[in-house]
A and B are shown apart, each in its own frame.
Chain A
Amino acid sequence: MTSTARRKSYGVKGAPYGFLIPASILFVLFFALPIGYAIWLSFRKVQVSGLGLGAGARKEVWAGLENYTDAFTDSELLDGALRVLGYGCIVVPVMLGLALLFALMLDSEKVRLAPFSRLAIFLPYAIPGVVAALLWGFLYLPDVSPFYFVLDKLGLPQPDLLDGGPLFLALSNIAVWGGTGFNMIVIYTSLQSIPAEVYEAAKLDGATPLQIALKIKIPMVAPSLVLTFFFSIIATLQVFSEPTTLKPLTNSVSTTWSPLMKVYQDAFGKGDIHAAAAQATIIALATLLLSFGFLRAANRRNKRDVSQGVAR
């Protein structure tokens, strides 16, 4: 090897690291450092001596697992987790069910106005969550809502959509409205990539469109269903801006409605950053466990299906 060639090969070797410098700096500053800091804070607490007045009366000390045991016995956090669980059990199946249904319909033959419908259903993706919550919030208000107008004219009872059980549906509806279109596009594009020959044989055998959808199309888009499920679970666990936006319109959304709202409330409302850090760490771990657990289960299932297919 000549010296210039060696120099060049070093240049090539160093190049990828050079290209990664900006991302690395940003990652350390805005991901690694904050996460590390949050974990560190979660093991600390403020100790107040005397009346807590004067310099040195409040000092930070090691807390061990105290913040964590507090978090696990905090009824507000547990209630919030249960609420979000219930909310997720409505949002994820309904949203993905609708997304799959619309994607299959878009993909069916002889469907009219599909470009218009596709665009209209995708449109909510472009609307910020806060604005979506605000729009629906007004549609839930009896004074201005067309639904109440119709119910009133028909003489039907008018439920309070911003209270109790209906509040779950009201919040779920906002998430479903905002998320269906995006998931529909993901599923639809993967439907489009299935080669036409796959259906030909089934069609010759006289399979109905419904049979083709259930037996051929859905199994073939299973990977994108897994992906949309995965992202939907993460998004659901992190619900924050919609209930926060609806809060001014109703007394039923507390400041600790979802676990993330509780974290925010503890950090900035109560000023207890140590408790908030412990709760945040728990939520992050729960998110990781749930999403990776789901991915592993989905992978195992896929493999089993494939091996069964081969056996058949």
Chain B
Amino acid sequence: MSSLAVRKAAPAAGTTPGTAQGPPLRRRIALVPTITLLLGALYCLLPVAWVVIASTKSGSELFSTFTFLPGTGFAENLSDLSAYRDGVYWQWMGNSALYAVLGALLSTVVSSFSGYALATYRFRGREAIFNVLLAGVLMPPVILAIPQYLLLAKVDLTDSYLSVLLPQILSPYGVYLARIYAAAAVPSDVVEAGRMDGASEWRIFTRIALPMMIPGLVTVFLFQFVAIWNNFLLPYIMLSDDEKFPITLGLHTLLEQGANTPALYTLVITGAFLAVFPLVALFLVVQRFWSLDLLSGAVKS
């Protein structure tokens, strides 16, 4: 669904639920499902609406005015946040973008190679390799991250950009999705025809298979992007220099310092609002051409 559809549906809001127009309307609109869903939507939007409004309040308004009454301090909050420790907040945002974009990109490339190989070739050890990769999904991240930290410490790589980036490139779930999409989107006779024409395996992959896999790979990219952007544990374990923190870890430390000083609350709240913003915007834009059905394609198989 595009956001366009949402906008089109919105004007109907006044007429849909609750307005008592008797049986004919009830027959046209299923009231119970409509209202249940709207309550669900309200529940999900409530904290987001709260943070949007709370970020406009100045420090004193936050504790004195009614919660859902907009305040007057957004510009001030923004400049306070930007001034906090010489703009370290924007550094965190930049770091998150770097980790998520680069990590998701590399992850998509690796997933496309592996998924294509597992889907289109018959070879010894294929299922064994696939199953071993999948078992990786079940590994609790802490259990991987602690020995990863200890091993990276041996080669002096902890507390670096690479220590957060490298462990997140191989995504078992990404490989799994890429395999499903490659199997569904790349017909074996097309690959065979390429071979007949004398194209190398690499050329068949880059020129024929890869373009066919693009919609699926967009999904892999987005999943990985969200996973890395939202990741807290790995940077929490790997990093100590706050110049390299992603936004999740940055906000956590800001809250830790701010919990005892209510003066910092407004900074935390404004920071949280701005951290929510990019991903929500990304989703609204992307869902125009990214179908969530691709997810079910993976689920059904």
Apart from A126-B283, A127-B230, 16 more pairs, CB < 8 Å: A20-B117, A22-B110, A23-B133, A27-B136, A35-B147, A98-B40, A111-B29, A111-B34, A130-B251, A134-B272, A138-B50, A244-B232, A248-B256, A260-B142, A264-B237, A276-B146
Q: How far is it, in angstroms, between the C-alpha of A125 and the C-alpha of B144 when the chains are bound?
A: 24
Closest to B121 in A: A16
Alpha-carbon distance A120/B143, docked complex (angstroms): 34
B186 an interface residue at 8 Å Cβ cutoff?
Answer: no
Beta-carbon contact of A127 and B280 below 8 Å: yes
Proximity bits, A220-264, B CB within 8 Å = 1, else 0: 000110010000001001101100110011000000000010011
Count contacts between A and B, CB distance < 8 Å.
Answer: 310
Q: Are B237 and A268 in contact (CB under 8 A)?
A: yes
Given A12-B195, A113-B34, A126-B279: A277 in contact with B147 (beta carbons within 8 A):
yes
Docked pose: A119 CA to B110 CA in angstroms = 30
A193 to B121, CA, bound (A): 29
Which of A64-72, A141-149, A296-304 lines the interface with chain B?
A: A141-149
B248 to A131, Cβ gap below 8 A?
Answer: yes
Residues in chain A within 8 A of chain B (CB atoms): 8, 11-13, 15-20, 22-24, 26-27, 29-31, 33-35, 37-38, 41, 98, 101-102, 104-106, 108-132, 134-139, 143-146, 149, 177, 180-181, 185-186, 189-190, 192-193, 209, 223-224, 227, 234, 237-238, 240-241, 244-245, 248-249, 260, 263-264, 267-268, 273, 276-277, 280-281, 283-284, 287-288, 291
Q: Tell whether A185 pairs with B147 under 8 Å between CB atoms, given A117-B41, A139-B47.
A: no
* CB-CB nearest in chain A for B144: A34
B123 CB-CB contact with A under 8 Å: yes
Mask of B259-279 contacts with A, CB within 8 angstroms, 1/0: 110100100110010011001
Contact between chains at B44 and A34 (CB < 8 Å): no
A29 to B154, alpha carbons, bound, how many Å?
Answer: 13
Tell me if A20 and B201 are in contact (CB < 8 A).
Answer: no
Complex: chain A residue closest to B248, CB-CB: A130
B193 within 8 A of A: no
Q: Chain B: residues with CB nearer than 8 A to chain A?
A: 1, 3, 5-6, 9-10, 12-13, 16-17, 28-30, 32-34, 36-38, 40-48, 50-51, 54, 62-63, 66-68, 109-111, 113-114, 116-118, 121, 123, 126, 129, 132-133, 136-144, 146-148, 150-151, 166-167, 169-170, 175, 195, 200-202, 205, 226, 229-230, 232-233, 236-237, 247-249, 251-252, 255-256, 258-260, 262, 265, 268-269, 272, 275-276, 279-280, 282-283, 287, 292-293, 295-296, 299-300
The main secondary structure of chain A at its interface with chain B is: helix
Ordered nearest first, which 7 A-B pairs have the shortest CB separation?
Answer: A189-B296, A120-B41, A19-B117, A248-B259, A34-B147, A146-B67, A117-B37
From residue A229, how far is it (CB to closest CB) to chain B in Å? 13
Within the assembled complex, what's the spacing in Å between the Cα atoms of A185 and B44? Answer: 14
Given the known inter-chain contacts A33-B151, A105-B33, A124-B44, please indicate yes or no for A263 contacting B146, CB distance below 8 A: yes
CA distance in complex: A17, B122 (Å): 11
List 27 contacting pairs A-B, 8 Å CB cutoff, sorted by A.
Answer: A18-B117, A19-B113, A31-B170, A41-B147, A41-B150, A101-B36, A102-B37, A105-B32, A112-B17, A113-B13, A113-B38, A119-B1, A119-B3, A120-B41, A121-B41, A122-B283, A126-B280, A129-B248, A131-B276, A134-B255, A144-B265, A180-B40, A240-B142, A244-B236, A264-B237, A280-B142, A291-B138
